[in-house]
Structure 1
Amino acid sequence: MRLKLKIKLLLPLLACFLLTNAQTNSYKFKRQITGVNSTWHSIKLPDDMYQKTNANFEDLRIFGINGKDTIEVPYLLKQRANQVSLAEIPFKQLNQSTVGEVYYYTFQVTEANPINQISLDFKQENFDWKVTLEGSNDNQNWFSILKDYRILAIKNNETNYQYTKLSFPDSKYQFYRIAIKANTQPTLITTKTTKTDTVKGIYDEVKYRTYDLKNDAKTKETIIEVGLKNAIPVSYLKLNAQSDFDFYRPIRIEYATDSIKTEKGIEYNFATLYEGTISSLEAPEFNFINTVTSKLKITINNNDNRPLRLSGLVIKGNSYNLVARFDDLKANYALYYGNETVQTPNYEIEKFESKIPTNLSNVSVGEEQKNPSYTVKTEKPLFENKIWLWSLMGVIIVLLGFFSFRMLKN
């Protein structure tokens, strides 16, 4: 009787244990979450965690345990990159005039809005001109905005490069006048005035472990391979490039997707992050999609020019945050990951993001632990099963004996 009573008492506990582990036993790793004291919190993903998660973070889950209940916490995955908004401001061209080798174009903004960029498109494909930009509210008294601003276009078999965007601080005038100093008359096809606003994101500087620079005389390329300390998000790269003369050269930035061990060592497969031009007219800064990687490769095509003087670089990335809703403040929460079969979760809070508070406190994420409830077993190949192999050999021997007996009998 006492044994039966004990079994009856243990059955609910066993069922509770199995039910609790059912949701978490397919994840290899977990990290304890502490500091949950309100419904909404922000969670910064640790740097050493990215190399263990799936692509696009499909396997991230937050589970809470409270007695016999297992709670799945809904979250939004956020990255704090620059948010750029671009508004085109209507305008009309009033007139065009020439004084000597200076060509003037006057525009009127049709709405009383500030602008900070004017994009110019010319019929000419090769030019190097100096531009002056002025603003006025009465088309008589003019105030300087830009002076001796250089615009450039080069198109040949090796290069197709244009730098024809005028960038300046926010200006609010009714009239704008562009003066181009050129030895031939520019053919202005289109002009676009815009107001660009940038909400600065949060970037973390990424430390690199190795920096290997090679100037290949055969391919006429400069190749830099950079090894990072961990697989970590990167979205910004700045090169310290110098030269005694102006330059404009094709540049390609790639990231390692995977690696293969060979007799010559480890060989990496790369995919393109950015393709463009590095120029003395623009800051050597490059922005691209936030990508998790542990190795970068930068290739500069020098053509027949002397290689640039490169003295290091700066790498930054946008860290990822989870905005999570904790419905039970008494539960013990942990972050789980390391599941190759799970799909991205679909939570309702994505539809109501506007109702989430903006000022969220951070919770602490502990060190990585192996999930003790992880029970996914890897099935061994059939040929590694000894019983199956012996059975197969027995069948083969019987068949050989049968056919041998028939041959001898005949």
Structure 2
Amino acid sequence: MMLKLKIKLLTALLLGVTIVNAQTGSYKFKRNITGVNAVWHKMILPNDLYKKANAGFDDFRIFGINGKDTVEVPYLLKQRADQVSTHDITFKQLNQSSGKDGYYYTFQAPGNNTINQINLAFKQENFDWKVKLEGSNDNQTWFSILKDYRILSIKNNVTDYQFTKLSFQDAKYQYFRIAIKSPTQPDLLEAKISKTDTIKGTYQDVKYQSFNLKNDVSSKETVIDVVLSGPVPLSFLKLNAQSDFDFYRPFKIEYATDSFKTDKGIQYNYANLYVGTISSLEKPEFNFTNTIASRLKITIQNNDNKPLRLSGLELKGNIYEIIARFDQPKSEYALYYGNEKATAPLYEIEKFESKIPIDLTSVNIGEEQKNSAYSIKTEKPLFENKAWLWVLMALIIVLLGWFSFKMLRN
């Protein structure tokens, strides 16, 4: 009787292990999750995790093990980027006039509206003008909002650059007046007045290991190679650029997607992160889609101009955060990853995100471990198997012998 009971317990234990391995065995790595004491929690992904995870994090799974029971934990992966919303303000143009200080355009909005941005569009393609912006509540007394604000447009065979956006602190008036100092009358095609609100995301500073700058005279370019400490999220770059004169230079930011060996050493393939213009009129700050990167290449097109003085850069990235629902807080939980064939999971909580509590406590993601349950074996190609090679050779010899015998008999 006792022997039968032991056999049953052993069978149940082996069956439980088999079920657990079946669910977790296709993932190479795991990290224990500690501190689970409620249903909903959040956790921040550590930087050293990005080296082994799949692009897009499709292989992320959270499993909870309680004895022989294994449950998959539904989660949402969020990146805390800036949330920018723009609301256009309805307005009408009252008049257009000129005076000794330039050309005036007056606009009226229904009610007192708060605005912080005006986008202008002109028929002219090449200009360099100074702008003054004022606000009034009675169309009589005017208050200064912007003074000697520069707008610029340059279009030729080399450059197509415009800076015609007026940005300022929140201003609440019923009337707005734009004065443009120009030797000829501007042909204003459109003016979009709007209010832009930004909810700041959560950023972390990104350190770089090396910053190598090269001014290539033959290609008339400045190329900067930046090596980071490892793969990390990246979404913001500020380039410290100075010059004795105003400048506007086409430039692009690229990140390395992979590498390959050549006679000249290791070379890299790159993909674009950002393409635009670095200018003395705008802050040299650039935002782009949060991307996992370990190496950057920044290329500035100087044309026939003197290279800019570049004294380093600042990098930031939005953190990735997991929001998960732990239905069995007493289970032992771990984050599994490292499955190249995995596809992104589909969880219902994505459709009910509004019902997730706002204030969530954080749990910890531990150090990386090799998953002992990982059971995928790499099969060798058929022709690397010596047995198959001997069989193939014997078959060829038999066929050659048969054809030779047939020819001799004929």
Normalised by the size of structure 2, how large is the TM-score? 0.98
Matched, 1:210 2:181: no
Aligned position for 1:200: 200
Letter in 2 for 1:354: S
Aligned position for 2:243: 243
Letter in 1 for 2:236: Y
| Residues 7-406 of structure 1: pairs in structure 2 closer than 5 A | 7-100=7-100, 102-406=102-406
Could you list the per-position Cα deviations for residues 119-169 of structure 1 after superposition, in whole angstroms to 9, with x for gaps in the alignment? 111111111111111110000011111111111111111111111111111
Q: Measure how far apart 1:272 and its partner are.
A: 0.7
SS at match of 1:186: coil
SS at match of 1:245: coil
Task: Report the Cα distance in structure 1 between the residues aligned to 2:371 and 2:8, rounded to whole angstroms.
Answer: 29
SS at match of 1:393: helix
Q: Measure how far apart 1:318 and its partner are.
A: 0.6
Q: CA 1:278–1:357 in structure 2 vs 1: closer, same or farther (change >3 Å)?
A: same
Letter in 1 for 2:355: K
Residues 101 and 179, structure 2, Cα contact 8 Å, conserved in 1: no
Task: Report the Cα distance in structure 1 between the residues aligned to 2:240 and 2:9, rounded to whole angstroms.
Answer: 70
Could you list the per-position Cα deviations for residues 296-350 of structure 1 after superposition, in whole angstroms to 9, with x for gaps in the alignment? 1110000100000001101111110000111111000000000011110000111
Task: Report the Cα distance in structure 2 between the residues aligned to 1:74 and 1:350, rounded to whole angstroms.
Answer: 9
SS at match of 2:257: strand
Residues 114 and 195, structure 1, Cα contact 8 Å, conserved in 2: yes
Task: Report the Cα distance in structure 1 between the residues aligned to 2:171 and 2:89, rounded to whole angstroms.
Answer: 12
Identity %: 69
Task: Report the Cα distance in structure 2 between the residues aligned to 1:10 and 1:202, rounded to whole angstroms.
Answer: 50
Task: Report the Cα distance in structure 2 between the residues aligned to 1:12 and 1:113, rounded to whole angstroms.
Answer: 71
Task: Report the Cα distance in structure 2 between the residues aligned to 1:372 and 1:51, rounded to whole angstroms.
Answer: 20
- Residue segments in structure 1 that go unaligned for 5+ positions in a row: none
Q: Measure how far apart 1:250 and its partner are.
A: 0.2
- Residue segments in structure 2 that go unaligned for 5+ positions in a row: none
How many residue pairs are counted as aligned between the two chains? 410
Q: Choose 110-119 or 265-274, whichever is displaced more.
A: 110-119
Q: Measure how far apart 1:111 and its partner are.
A: 3.8
Residues 215 and 307, structure 1, Cα contact 8 Å, conserved in 2: yes
The CA RMSD measured in Å over matched residues stands at 1.2
Residues 89 and 111, structure 1, Cα contact 8 Å, conserved in 2: no
Task: Report the Cα distance in structure 2 between the residues aligned to 1:93 and 1:342, rounded to whole angstroms.
Answer: 57
The ranges of structure 1 where at least 4 consecutive aligned residues each deviate by more than 6 angstroms after the TM superposition are none
Q: Measure how far apart 1:5 and its partner are.
A: 4.7
Task: Report the Cα distance in structure 1 between the residues aligned to 2:79 and 2:190, rounded to whole angstroms.
Answer: 36
Q: Measure how far apart 1:3 and its partner are.
A: 5.2
SS at match of 2:354: helix
Task: Report the Cα distance in structure 2 between the residues aligned to 1:102 and 1:296, rounded to whole angstroms.
Answer: 45
SS at match of 1:389: helix
Residues 101 and 183, structure 1, Cα contact 8 Å, conserved in 2: no
Residues 135 and 176, structure 2, Cα contact 8 Å, conserved in 1: yes
Letter in 2 for 1:59: D
Q: Choose 29-38 or 104-113, whichever is displaced more.
A: 104-113
Normalised by the size of structure 1, how large is the TM-score? 0.98
Task: Report the Cα distance in structure 2 between the residues aligned to 1:127 and 1:401, rounded to whole angstroms.
Answer: 88
Task: Report the Cα distance in structure 2 between the residues aligned to 1:87 and 1:2, rounded to whole angstroms.
Answer: 76
Task: Report the Cα distance in structure 2 between the residues aligned to 1:9 and 1:327, rounded to whole angstroms.
Answer: 27
Q: Measure how far apart 1:101 and its partner are.
A: 5.1
Task: Report the Cα distance in structure 2 between the residues aligned to 1:66 and 1:5, rounded to whole angstroms.
Answer: 22
Q: Choose 395-404 or 89-98, whichever is displaced more.
A: 395-404
Letter in 2 for 1:244: D
Residues 40 and 323, structure 1, Cα contact 8 Å, conserved in 2: yes
Residues 60 and 335, structure 1, Cα contact 8 Å, conserved in 2: yes
